[in-house]
């Protein structure tokens, strides 16, 4: 069921930067041509920043004569005039970046297969006697956040000899010493691994500038230069190339003289590690290298209250990265990566192969998997205890919008499904450190933990979305003790809606509807009832009722349920206009703002009174309200509820009608024809879904909600996912396809979706399409897994699944459904299968052996069993068929 590999060639290579690094460790970017770019491993972003002229290169020789020598890069595709992000005096106006090695012989042809988390670059040149492929990855193993947080980039170089005689090949890695000088390099050989360890000199580990880098290989035959030549101008690169293009191995340079450059420019120090192999005619051999890093101390380089990035941080505002508690040096990390290479590579490829071998439309699958790379970017960090922390995205050299922002991270779906322990860590820290006495949750988590620097007021979508996610985290884990530890705070956060200490007066009369001043992810506030934010409130009430009842709090559960029923009825009767959901507000009523004159002022809105913020005298109208607009997120809470098994929040017929309206009014086939005063994420000829638009007969606000004309991808993916959930497959596929058309490599980087900065967390909403199209459900409490497949190809249905303790694949080929666990262990006592008919014979097998079972209301029940890695549960029934599913050939 495999899709065609996602291969990039020609101009599609231009914007590629494929992140290689662990979760919360930062990463090194691999360009489409094989260059090492975007060295974001020093605890902050570094877009466009290199590390000297770090690179890999190859030499071919026979009988003592050099046949050819080249850096392992494809053609240079940058600006030949120069680059603004290059080092001083080597930037724009100084020609192609020197550190790109555009002036060094390289390969004439490159192709890049990018199926995250593995990249494979193939290089060819008619001058070079051989073909080289580079497999690059960092371990990405669902449920295993330890190995997936290894701070290392791993490269396997496979050389095929295309000549008719043996060739001796030398593969050399060159590693810059980093930006902090001075440094010291030390060679090592240990456990079959040879390398060079680099460390900042005279800096303790608790100094944020302390850094260690290692370049290492486990090749049998090696040579090295602990230091490249240290000279002036371009001497280091010149002498290195002179050495490399001579026959034979490198001669060691164990030290270099320390002398003053006299004001003349020179490159930072570099170290070299080489591997040597002989390859027979027509044969292939592989050499492995690892670049590891260890920058254990994270520094808070920003000031939360004012968001200044240039002011010195408060004393003591440092903490140890989690990986700095798990490993003690870059050398230890490199040794582990190389000694466990086969295991880590096999498990990473196993995930890749499982997730790509699915019946999901290609662009949708691309969106879902490519955006997992955000977890490997500098957008995320892991605090000392392992807690996952995230910016919204990143600017070139600083984070963008701190604090695991709840109304942005609310959209992402990758973490709870793939790394549920990390998802629970985010929930725990929000409820323990980010809730005020009244139950209001700042939508930005302050750091360091335990400091009271909350500067944002609560936002409705983030606060109540957190309750819905708490419910899903609990269902995936089945951990009642964990839920009990958080439950008192969660209850307080729900009750904040009607708390007399809530200055925003969300629902003071306990109606089940949000009426007051409601902050949200579009960075302003709505006033009055609207389905978008009330939907989250209702989702929290419904989830809260289920959790309360499970914990034995029947009165609380009944209370939440009554509020839910009242609010749902109001939304159905008063917010649906017959086609879609609207905001109930009189735009001409200035007194709407009166109750909030003395209300809370968040940092963003401080310094302006409520009337200046929200009233336009010129138009006699409230600003930044939706009114009669079609908002892309009007039924967003139902998308969440369907993913988490919460059932209906909205009337289902109204949801389908609203989704059709959003597609009609908000989806634009050519954004070049749409006026957009906001950020421009889509250009002429590109399609997308805008945040807000109006039917022809609707009243248009003079000043609409912020970002109204933007196409923000996380919003688009959740909308596309909702279309899929409700059977609108062609429209859903079109929405996903429109976004990924932006990221084809020729226009933008396929592994960097943007919004408020790069590697934007909201885009991980795309992962929701994977469980949606398989109809996946799971409840650890009754040990039941379920599938209601939506799509097929010519062979049948296939899907990847991941839950709290295991991951694997599910398949349906006429009459037979199989569930196979790849890793982990799954306690199972029941399976829900859509289409299973009770009046047809059903056979259930475990690893081919029949097991006793019964069928009750479409659910197959059996004695509890443990599905360990490699085990397969088979269900045979004539009623199981993929014939009625949507063929993905119609959705590509």
Per-residue pLDDT band at 2 (split at 50, 70, 90): very low
Distance from C-alpha of 851 to C-alpha of 873, rounded to nearest angstrom: 10
Averaged pLDDT for residues 191-215: 95
At 90 the pLDDT is 77
Is residue 311 scored above 80 in pLDDT?
A: no
At 747 the pLDDT is 96
CB 505 within 8 A of CB 598: no
Is residue 881 scored above 60 in pLDDT?
A: yes
Is residue 315 scored above 60 in pLDDT?
A: no
Average pLDDT, the chain: 94
pLDDT tens for residues 255-264? Answer: 988 877 777 7
Distance from C-alpha of 714 to C-alpha of 138, rounded to nearest angstrom: 25
Q: Are strands 784-787 and 816-833 parallel, antiparallel or unpaired?
A: parallel
DSSP conformational letter for 578: S
pLDDT tens for residues 272-288? Answer: 999 999 999 999 999 99
Is residue 856 scored above 60 in pLDDT?
A: yes
Whether the model clears a pTM of 0.85, i.e. scores above it, the answer is yes
At 160 the pLDDT is 98
Distance from C-alpha of 635 to C-alpha of 718, rounded to nearest angstrom: 10
Percent of the chain with pLDDT over 90: 87
pLDDT tens for residues 608-654? Answer: 689 999 999 999 999 999 999 999 999 999 999 999 999 999 999 99
Torsions phi, psi for 657 (to 5 deg): -65, -45
As given in the structure block, the two tokens for residue 311 are: 């002011």
Of the candidates 343, 455, 332, 458, the one whose C-alpha atom is nearest the C-alpha of residue 401 is 455
CB 26 within 8 A of CB 394: no
Per-residue pLDDT band at 3 (split at 50, 70, 90): very low
At 406 the pLDDT is 96
Averaged pLDDT for residues 427-442: 94
pLDDT tens for residues 688-710? Answer: 999 999 999 999 999 999 999 99
As given in the structure block, the two tokens for residue 856 are: 């009750």
List Cβ neighbours of 610 (8 Å cut-off, separation of 6 or more): 593, 596, 597, 599
Mean pLDDT is lowest, of 78-92, 158-172, 290-304, 725-739, for 78-92
Per-residue pLDDT band at 836 (split at 50, 70, 90): confident
Averaged pLDDT for residues 8-37: 98
At 600 the pLDDT is 62
More confident site: 317 or 536: 536
Per-residue pLDDT band at 314 (split at 50, 70, 90): low
pLDDT tens for residues 108-131? Answer: 999 999 999 999 999 999 999 999
List Cβ neighbours of 855 (8 Å cut-off, separation of 6 or more): 836, 838, 842, 861
As given in the structure block, the two tokens for residue 97 are: 């970046």
At 604 the pLDDT is 53
At 602 the pLDDT is 52
At 726 the pLDDT is 98
Q: What is the CA angle 335-338-340, rounded to 5? A: 100
Helix or strand holding residue 29 (H, E): strand 27-31
C-alpha torsion 854→856→859→865, nearest 10: -40
At 567 the pLDDT is 98
State the number of CA atoms in the 13 A half-sphere of 108 facing the CB. Answer: 5
Averaged pLDDT for residues 785-803: 94
At 71 the pLDDT is 98
Per-residue pLDDT band at 670 (split at 50, 70, 90): very high
At 674 the pLDDT is 96
Averaged pLDDT for residues 211-235: 96
At 1 the pLDDT is 35
pLDDT tens for residues 61-102? Answer: 999 999 999 999 999 998 989 888 877 767 888 898 999 999
Is residue 266 scored above 80 in pLDDT?
A: no
Distance from C-alpha of 780 to C-alpha of 845, rounded to nearest angstrom: 21
pLDDT tens for residues 552-572? Answer: 999 999 999 999 999 999 999
pLDDT tens for residues 47-65? Answer: 999 999 999 999 999 999 9
Per-residue pLDDT band at 789 (split at 50, 70, 90): very high
pLDDT tens for residues 438-466? Answer: 999 999 998 988 876 556 789 999 999 99
At 260 the pLDDT is 76
DSSP string, 654-694: HHHHHHHHHHHHHEES-GGGS---S-----TT--EE-SEE-
Is residue 269 scored above 80 in pLDDT?
A: yes
Distance from C-alpha of 538 to C-alpha of 468, rounded to nearest angstrom: 10
At 835 the pLDDT is 86
At 4 the pLDDT is 47
């Amino acid at each position: 069921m495999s899709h065609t590999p996602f291969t990039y060639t020609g101009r599609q290579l231009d914007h590629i930067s494929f992140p290689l690094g662990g979760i919360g460790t930062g990463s090194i970017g691999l360009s489409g041509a094989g260059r090492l770019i975007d060295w974001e491993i020093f605890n902050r972003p570094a877009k466009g920043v290199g590390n000297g002229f770090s690179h890999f290169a190859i030499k071919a020789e026979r009988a003592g004569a050099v046949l050819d020598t080249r850096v392992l890069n494809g053609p240079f595709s940058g600006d030949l005039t120069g680059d603004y992000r290059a080092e001083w005096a080597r930037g724009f106006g100084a020609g192609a970046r020197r550190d790109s090695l555009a002036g060094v012989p390289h390969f004439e042809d490159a192709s890049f297969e990018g199926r995250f988390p593995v990249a494979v670059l193939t290089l060819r040149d008619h001058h070079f006697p051989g073909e080289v492929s580079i497999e690059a990855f960092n371990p990405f193993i669902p449920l295993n956040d330890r190995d997936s947080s290894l701070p290392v980039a791993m490269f396997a170089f496979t050389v095929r000899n295309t000549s008719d005689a043996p060739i001796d090949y030398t593969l050399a890695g060159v590693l810059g010493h980093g930006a902090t000088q001075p440094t010291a390099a030390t060679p090592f050989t240990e456990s079959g691994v040879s390398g060079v360890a680099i460390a900042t000199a005279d800096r303790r580990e608790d100094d944020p500038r302390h850094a260690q880098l290692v370049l290492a290989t486990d090749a049998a035959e090696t040579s090295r230069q602990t230091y490249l030549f240290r000279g002036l101008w371009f001497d280091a690169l010149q002498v290195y190339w002179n050495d490399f293009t001579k026959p034979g191995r490198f001669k060691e340079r164990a030290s270099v003289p320390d002398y003053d450059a006299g004001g003349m420019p020179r490159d930072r120090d570099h170290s070299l590690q080489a591997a040597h192999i002989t390859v027979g005619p027509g044969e292939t051999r592989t050499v492995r290298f690892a670049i590891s890093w260890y920058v254990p101390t994270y520094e808070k380089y920003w000031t939360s209250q004012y968001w200044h990035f240039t002011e010195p941080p408060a004393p003591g505002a440092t903490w140890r990265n989690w990986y700095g508690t798990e490993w003690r040096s870059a050398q230890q990390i490199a040794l582990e990566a190389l000694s466990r290479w086969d295991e880590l590579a096999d498990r990473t490829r196993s995930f890749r192969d499982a997730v790509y071998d699915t019946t999901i439309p290609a662009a949708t699958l691309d969106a879902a998997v490519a955006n997992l790379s955000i977890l490997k970017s500098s957008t995320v960090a892991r605090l000392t205890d392992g807690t996952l922390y995230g910016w919204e995205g990143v600017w070139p050299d600083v984070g963008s919008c701190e604090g695991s922002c709840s109304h942005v991270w609310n959209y992402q779906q990758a973490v709870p499904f793939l790394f549920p322990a990390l998802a629970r860590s985010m929930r725990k820290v929000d409820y323990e450190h980010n809730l005020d006495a009244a139950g209001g949750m700042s939508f930005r988590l302050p750091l360091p933990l335990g400091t009271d620097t909350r500067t944002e007021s609560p936002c409705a979508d983030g606060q109540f979305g957190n309750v819905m996610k708490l419910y899903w985290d609990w269902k995936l884990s089945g951990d009642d003790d964990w839920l009990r530890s958080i439950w008192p705070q969660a209850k307080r956060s729900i009750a904040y809606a009607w708390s007399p200490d809530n200055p925003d007066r969300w629902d003071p009369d306990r109606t089940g509807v949000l009426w007051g001043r409601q902050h949200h992810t579009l960075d302003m506030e709505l006033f009055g009832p609207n389905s978008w934010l009330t939907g989250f409130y209702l989702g929290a009430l419904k989830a809260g009722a289920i959790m309360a009842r499970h914990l034995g709090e029947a009165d609380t559960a009944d209370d939440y349920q009554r509020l839910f029923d009242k609010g749902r009825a109001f939304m159905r009767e008063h917010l649906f206009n017959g086609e879609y959901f609207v905001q109930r507000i009189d735009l001409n009523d200035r007194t709407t703002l009166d109750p909030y004159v003395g209300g809370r002022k968040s940092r963003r809105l401080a310094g302006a009174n409520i009337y200046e913020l929200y009233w336009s005298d010129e138009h006699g109208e409230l600003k930044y309200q939706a009114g009669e607009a079609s908002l892309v997120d009007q039924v967003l809470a139902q998308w969440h509820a369907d993913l988490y098994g919460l059932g209906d929040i909205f009337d289902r017929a109204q949801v389908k009608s609203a989704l059709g309206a959003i597609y009609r009014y908000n989806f634009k086939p050519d954004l070049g024809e749409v006026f957009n005063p906001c950020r421009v994420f889509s250009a002429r000829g590109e399609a997308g879904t805008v945040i807000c638009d109006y039917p022809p007969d609707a009243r248009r606000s003079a000043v609409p909600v912020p970002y109204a004309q933007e196409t923000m991808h996380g919003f688009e993916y959740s909308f596309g996912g909702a279309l899929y959930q409700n059977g609108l497959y062609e429209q859903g596929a079109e929405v996903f396809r429109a976004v990924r058309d932006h990221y084809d490599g020729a226009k933008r980087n396929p592994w960097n979706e943007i919004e408020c900065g790069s590697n934007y967390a909201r885009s991980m909403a795309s992962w929701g399409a994977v469980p949606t199209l398989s109809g996946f459900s799971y409840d650890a409490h009754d040990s039941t897994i379920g599938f209601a497949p939506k799509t097929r190809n010519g062979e049948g249905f296939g899907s990847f699944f991941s839950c709290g303790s295991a991951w694997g694949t599910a398949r349906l080929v006429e009459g037979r459904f199989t569930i196979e666990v790849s890793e982990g262990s799954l306690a199972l006592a029941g399976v829900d299968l859509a289409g299973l008919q009770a009046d047809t014979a059903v056979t259930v097998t475990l690893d081919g052996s029949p097991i006793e079972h019964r069928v009750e209301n479409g659910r197959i029940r059996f004695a509890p069993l443990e599905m360990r890695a490699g085990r397969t549960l088979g269900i045979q029934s004539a009623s199981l068929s993929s014939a009625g599913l949507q063929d993905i050939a119609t959705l590509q």
